Amino acid sequence: MTNNLPKGSKKLLNAWAFYDWANSVYSLVIASAVFPIFYGALFTKAEVETIEVFGGAIRSTPLISYTTAAAFLVVAFISPLLSGIADYVGNKKRFMQFFCYLGSLSCISLYFFSLENIYISLLSYFLGLIGFWGSLVFYNSYLPDVAFKEQQDALSAKGYSLGYIGSVVLLVFNLFMVMFPQFFGLGEGGAASIEAMKISFITVGVWWIGFSQYTFKYLPKGNKTKHKVTRKVVFNGFRELQGVYKSLSANLSLKRYLVAFFVYSMAVQTVMLVATYFGEQEIGWGGEDEKTLGLIGSILLIQLVAVLGAILTSKASARFGNISALIGVNLIWVVICIVAYFVTTPAQFYITAGFVGLVMGGIQSLSRSTYSKFLPETEDTTSYFSFYDVAEKIGIVIGMLLYGFIDQITGSMRNSILFLVLFFGAGVILLFRVPRK
């Protein structure tokens, strides 16, 4: 039964924000913490550095990087297609649910991830990523539908904060299970810890499906007008994207903001995707157990500090304006990347991670709400947010390719991190060009 709550109502706002609590466990446990460590452990246990895929040998990290990039390309392609259909038939909640369940069940299937069945295993990872980012297209598009403009900054920050807190709760549980598998009847030693990691993938899927039900209970279906899906409608999303692109010429603020967002988001998302691998390869931890604890500990630190960062950035935007706050955050990112080039010890890595968390939550939540404020008066919010997400995903693909290319030709991830300074610096310059009103 549909619950028709008025726009701006507390229950509706809480229901929207709670989806961050439900799905953020994917970005932390799968994308950032447990899966990268589990993936590396499989190669260590098998005592191999390369694996045969599609007739050629490839190292572990390029393989997962290419799979990630391919998934983001798919998301960038299908987002406008599906969002156009969703707006047209007036039921975008069904699409959001589909991707939610696709991602959740794919996470559960990661329990069976193995090098022996690498193709099916990579497919589970691939579909999990598509499910997560696909659902976010529709989730983000609900922001201007459920909240008034004066509520959007605070609500966006609340969503990210709930996401960070919820994902930390589950990660702490999973970390305890990995470090002390004997308490869960899994035995002792490396094999038991790997089994605990596999079980953690199941907990992510169950958590995601379970808590998302509260959101789906109260979110409206979408636009009231309903139409039948025809062959013409299938490509309606791309025509709508073209319409959004043309509308930018009449909205200078939105156009310039999108260009700036594309550039600095490219760097932000790249840092988030490679941070664990940077810490694993470039920091002297002392041993495998110390490395596992250190990496997960630093990720936990980022998540906890990010809650404070999202709140502080929201307050800064209220006082100084969204664009001024984003300029300040990007300048901090410039400093972080320069400092990261010289980081070698665990203590230095922890300090850097703390500052990353402070600006990571802030720049994500403020970017989303700033874009929402620049939108023209329209019911077709999904197409505008689809355009936003496509720009972000294409930026991720470009950022990852450049990062990997520099790492490959120079032999060091440090040079790649330093290169990201250019993107953050360009982001600052482009933000200065955005009209403030």
Tokens of 8: 């701006």
- Position 3 scores a pLDDT of 62
Mean pLDDT over 151-179 rounds to: 86
CA distances from 210 to 129, 201, 363 (A): 19, 14, 28
* Average pLDDT of span 66-90: 77
Average pLDDT in the 202-219 region?
A: 95
Using a pLDDT cut of 70, give the percent of the chain over it: 92
Query: What contacts 131, CB < 8 A, 6 or more positions away?
Result: 99, 100, 101, 102, 103, 104, 105, 106
What would the two tokens of residue 426 be?
Answer: 């360009």
CB 239 within 8 A of CB 371: no
| Confidence label for 382 from pLDDT (cuts 50, 70 and 90) | low
Name the more confident of 232 and 92: 92
Mean pLDDT value across residues 286-295:
78
Residues 332-373 have pLDDT tens digits of 999 999 999 999 999 999 999 999 988 887 888 788 888 888
- Among 34-43, 114-123, 230-239, the least confident range: 230-239
Give pLDDT, residue 151. 83
Phi-psi group of 189: left, alpha or beta (phi > 0 → left; psi -120 to 50 → alpha; rest → beta): left
Predicted confidence at residue 298, as pLDDT, reads: 87
Q: With 80 as the cut, is the pLDDT of residue 230 above it?
A: no
Structural domains of the chain in order of their starting residue, each with its CATH number = 10-219+232-432 (1.20.1250.20)
